[in-house]
Amino acid sequence: MTTTPAEWADADSPLEAFPSNSSGAQVGYARVSTKGQLLDRQIASLSAADCVRVFADKKSGKNAEREELRKCLDYLRSGDTLVVPSLDRLSRSIQDLIAIVSDRPLNPKA
């Protein structure tokens, strides 16, 4: 069942998310900052979200060379949804997040 914008406007909570009508796959991305940290909890949550594929990096978010993030973004197709456990796993700054969602290079100095 599809929710229309009018039905969404009548929702109980004005902050309720408007559901997307995605016809593509859900693709997950997880990241931990150091090799000593574990990805288990993030990967479990992405699996529970029915992600068909999960990419994972063990690198600091400050590092623009996140190979698995690049592979993940290259893997996405029109209609797919990128799923992350939280935005801080995807990026460490608003500039980085803007670059990712606008499909600009992550390291503009390169």
Q: What residues are labeled active site?
A: 33
Contact indicator for 82, 20 with CB cutoff of 8 Å: no
Contact indicator for 51, 26 with CB cutoff of 8 Å: yes
Q: How far apart are CA 104 and CA 71, in angstroms?
A: 15
Contact indicator for 79, 23 with CB cutoff of 8 Å: yes
Contact indicator for 42, 30 with CB cutoff of 8 Å: yes
